[in-house]
Amino acid sequence: MRRVRVVNVTRQQTLAERAEVAESFIRRGIGLLGRSDWSRADGLVIIPSDGVHSFFMQMPIDVLHLARDGTVKKVLASMKPWRIGPIVWGGHAAVELPAGTAERTGTVVGDHIDFSEVSAEE
């Protein structure tokens, strides 16, 4: 599985050290299903995505909706399980992170998010 480091370039904050990338139809559908916990280093990048849901999830998550250029278009803080998030027009990707990540890092609409590949050993 491909993994990336997710960085808020605007705030110079690492949001996830080793986020999984879900680009296939099946992987996007599976998302975080079945997980009951994750570390502050984890995350999930869903490409393409203009909206997410939290059906069958067991934990709240922060969701960043990004434009194609990496600009944050919407922040959903602590989205609870069994919810449907909004459709974000012009959304290209969604980054799912542990609840509280956006607040802890000061991530807000307009910030620029960047991804860099990480090796399997990292």
CATH of the domain at 83: 2.60.120.1140
Distance CA 19, CA 70 (A): 15
Nearest to 59 by CA among 38, 85, 87, 84: 38
Structure tokens given for 21: 């990338």
Q: Does any domain span residue 13?
A: yes
Q: Does any domain span residue 61?
A: yes
Q: Does any domain span residue 30?
A: yes
Q: Does any domain span residue 76?
A: yes
Q: Does any domain span residue 120?
A: no
Q: Does any domain span residue 10?
A: yes
pLDDT of residue 111 exceeding 90: yes
What's the one-letter identity of residue 115? F
Cβ partners under 8 Å of residue 108, min gap 6: 72, 75, 102
Please give the residue range of the domain that contains residue 62.
3-114
pLDDT tens per residue across span 1-45: 789 999 999 999 999 999 989 876 566 566 555 555 666 568 999
Q: What is the pTM of this model?
A: 0.89
Looking at the structure of the chain, the number of domains it has is 1
CB atoms within 10 A of CB 67: 15
pLDDT tens per residue across span 44-82: 999 999 999 888 888 899 999 999 999 999 999 999 999
Q: Does any domain span residue 119?
A: no
